[in-house]
Structure 1
Amino acid sequence: MQPFDQIDRLERAEALDRPAAAIRPVVQRLLRDRRVKDALHGVWLGHPLHPALVHLTLGSLLSASLIDLVGGKRRYSTGLIATGLLLTPSTAAAGWADWSAAHPDQQRVGLVHASTNALAVSCYAAALWKRARGRRGGRLLSLAGAAVAGAGAALGGHLSYHLALGANHADRVSDLAPQGWQPLGALSEVAEGTPVRRTAGEVPVFVLRRGEQVDVLADRCPHLAGPLSGGEVVGTDGNARVVCPWHGSEFRLDDGHVVHGPATSPVPRFETRVVSGKLEVRIAPPD
């Protein structure tokens, strides 16, 4: 059996659902402040924050282990371990924020990923503690931390690239949508004030009519592809937003931009026009 077959089995390990169910409400309570939650997701960055922090944190720790492996100067390795450990709390917090809004199969792998990383950090912390007291064994603990961190990184890569946690699930809409104007039916047939689902070519779209104004977005939440047409519309006029029914991401209706996460990418927007009473749309160019 290939190593990644074992990771695939984690996705189906329902025994992990019980600890996930116990941890999830704790994380959600800690993230009650939406400003903090949005910051940890990376809404302000327009990109998931956790992977960016991982590069700094893991890079510092693994660099320290490489110095230890080749017999480099101990003070350089020690400084890098200290840097990695200082970055660990913010990196872990961003990871837990993303985990709390993930699908069950993602959360199962994520739990093992977090546990592996906790063990790696413990090894590095023990190495730093020994060095601070002038004791031997710090180098071996540093190398052990690197080995465990490598396994954790493999799980993190599986989450990102295989299970697409943090990916933009609406990225290909602009490529798949027809470039010309597409009919969506008679404007009179679109109920006012209630989101409906239509199809532009073969691309599902979210349609909301408010008087003579019609807002059309891709019917696909960038976070985990939730159907926006099943969501609630909140706010009025220029502040109107649609809330994804799956994980609560909010998007402005006029331009599709993210207001609240966990999504960090905007929803593709469609231009609209009415010709002889018929509603037509076409994909809007990127902002």
Structure 2
Amino acid sequence: MSDTPQPLSETPATSAPPPFAERFSDGLQSILQKMLGTQRQSPRRIKSFLNGTWLGHPLHPVLTDVPIAAWALTAVFDIIWLISHATWAASGAFVTLIVGLLAALAAAVTGLTDWSDTYGTERRIGLNHALFNVLALLLYLLSFVLRLLAGPGDTIAATILGLLGLVSVFYAGYLGGEMVFSKGTGVNHTAWEAGGEDYEVVMAAADVQEQTLYRVTVAGVPVVLLRQGERYSAISATCPHAGGPLDEGTLVGNTVECPWHGSRFCMSDGRVLTGPAVVNAPRYDVRVTNGQVALKRLEEH
């Protein structure tokens, strides 16, 4: 039986166009993917750099702390200025505001890079997250202009704009947390995979053909197995980035590419070579005994 949903009646129905937010997201993601070279051949260095593959950790959350902290300090200096009209407080607010603006631009670029690979509910939340961050950026930019025109002193209008910007960026941060902690965006999908204490037989060695990816199960965990000559290698079959099935990916030499978002992993050691994934795939030791292939997960150090 087909899994495709069937119409409830024979009367042809005209499907409603997708909401504006969905159309906007589709168009924006398409533009971002072209700019980032998402569809290009590996190694896609720019995208991998912005994802944080080289860091072993998503780059976006590392950068977001800077504008939030800087703009929070701006608010502190502004409050001090409102109370005392101290020139040093106005100067401090001006400097931290600039730091926040510069860091926010870097955070925006990396955030949009990560968002370009999302879909469904996480994509909608991510779009709102981005919009409130853009609103905060515009408010602080206008606040910056007003402070610049005011010279060494501060202005009430600039302070109010800054406080509104802080509220906006805090709410954007809340939405960012919603993506990570409720939807699992950017979470390592292999983090909770358990490894057995003993080797587990998965298949007969005679059935393992060369240069073919096999999906096997070890201690209840899906693993992808590869034979190249007399050498065997195995890593988790789940892509750490979004859970894509690596056993259905493309094998080039000793590298497997995830069919969902193009992350590439070395089959020998699980090392991530190309983003959007940022962590290595768990690897397994392979033994061939009495014509049987047995696997055991290797502990990470």
When normalised by structure 2's length, the TM-score is 0.86
How far the C-alpha of 1:247 sits from its partner, in A, is 0.4
Counterpart among 2, 15, 23 of residue 28 in structure 2: 23
Q: What amino acid sits opposite 2:240 in the alignment?
A: P
How far the C-alpha of 1:15 sits from its partner, in A, is 4.9
CA distance in 2, matches of 1:163, 1:65: 31
Sequence identity (%): 32
Unaligned runs of 5+ in 1: 1-12
Structure 1 counterpart SS, 2:94: helix
Partner residue, 2:183: 163
Structure 1 counterpart SS, 2:56: coil
Counterpart among 52, 70, 79 of residue 62 in structure 2: 52
Partner residue, 2:168: 148
How far the C-alpha of 1:190 sits from its partner, in A, is 2.1
Q: How does 1:1-287 map to 2 (within 5 A)?
A: 15-32=20-37, 34-71=44-81, 73-134=89-150, 136-173=156-193, 176-234=194-252, 236=253, 240-287=254-301
Structure 2 counterpart SS, 1:23: helix
Deviating more after overlay: 255-264 vs 14-23: 14-23
CA distance in 2, matches of 1:145, 1:207: 51
CA RMSD of aligned residues (A): 1.6
User: 8 Å contact 1:130–1:136 — kept in the other structure?
Assistant: no
How far the C-alpha of 1:137 sits from its partner, in A, is 0.8
**Runs ≥4 in structure 1, deviation > 3 angstroms?**
69-72
Q: What amino acid sits opposite 1:192 in the alignment?
A: E
Partner residue, 2:10: none
CA distance in 2, matches of 1:171, 1:62: 33
Unaligned runs of 5+ in 2: 1-17, 83-88
CA distance in 1, matches of 2:21, 2:282: 35
When normalised by structure 1's length, the TM-score is 0.90
Partner residue, 2:86: none
Q: What amino acid sits opposite 1:104 in the alignment?
A: G
CA distance in 1, matches of 2:256, 2:263: 8
Partner residue, 1:5: none
CA distance in 1, matches of 2:170, 2:205: 56
Q: What amino acid sits opposite 2:50 in the alignment?
A: L
Higher radius of gyration, 1 or 2: 2
